Amino acid sequence: MQGVFPAIVTPFKDGGVYYEGLEKNINFLIDNGVSGIVSVGTTGESPTLTYEEHQKVIEKAVDTVNGKVKVIAGSGSNSTKEAIELSQFAEDVGADAVLLITPYYNKPTQEGLKKHFGKIAESINIPIVLYNVPSRTAVNLEPETIKYLYEEYSNITTVKEANPNLSQVSEIVSSCDINVLSGNDELTLPIISLGGKGVISVLANIVPKEFVEMVDYALEGKFDKAREIHCKLFNLMKLMFVETNPIPIKTAMNMLNMPAGELRLPLCEMSQENKLKLESALIEAGLLKKKL
């Protein structure tokens, strides 16, 4: 897997999923050249979706994309059984791959992680993207474990690496040929320089064209041009995590009249102080007009 894969938001309206808005957002991303989308990940507020909503959002994403780009369905869980069921559902409705987060709260050992991901890999035929984000899950998927999983299971092809430790990325790419996608927007260029293949991005929800250009330049070795775009977007990249994701990206999308809609508790509206910072950054980036 290679390129830009926005981790899409799940729009909510009047307490329910706003499927018309979801479709509009997906088509916007396709029109701007992304390689694929990631549905029902952390940015899609998967923890607060019901099981039925989770399935329906995946199905709607697959139907909307209609084969134009790849659909990576978030189907991870801290229950192996539930992750298998969601992954099998994603495969059945036509998703191209699944995104599997390391089990959160349980804090499994590396041996437990091998068995967890192995059981899921044996239950489906489509590619698996491992998702390592220790800041959210309290467990790090170690490079040796990634190497083992890549070599043992043919459908484990990619890792979304959101551990900010670039030494870990170096260890991964030097130990095996698994595809590495950045899980942190601001580390996309460094990770590509180490051999990464692209990014699963939050900010690309609103600037997909710029992200595609940046990643394309980087993959072609044109780092001067890629760095120009990176520097232009850097402030916005940082602001996407000034409060818990997806609070900032949904706030930005609503400011830009994109259908992001509500947040679900326990996530809540962005603070006024941070909202003003975000508004200023959007104006500075040329995405929002300054109020008269």
Active site residues: 131, 160
Is 124 within any annotated ligand binding site? no
Give the H/E segment covering residue 70: strand 70-74
Cis status of the peptide bond prior to 266, with omega within 30 of 0: yes
Q: Is 43 annotated as a binding residue?
A: yes
Which ranges in 95-245 belong to alpha helices (H)? 110-123, 134-137, 143-152, 166-175, 188-193, 208-219, 223-239
d(CA 202, CA 76) in angstroms, rounded, equals 18
Neighbours of 141 (CB within 10 A): 25
> What's the distance, CA 125 to chain centroid?
21
For every residue of 230-287, which 3-state class applies, written as one string? Answer: HHHHHHHHHHCCCCCCCHHHHHHHHHCCCCCECCCCCCCCCCHHHHHHHHHHHHHCCC
Q: Provide the 10 A C-beta neighbour count for residue 251.
A: 22
Binding-site residues for pyruvate, in ranges, read: 43, 200
Binding-site residues, in ranges, read: 43, 200
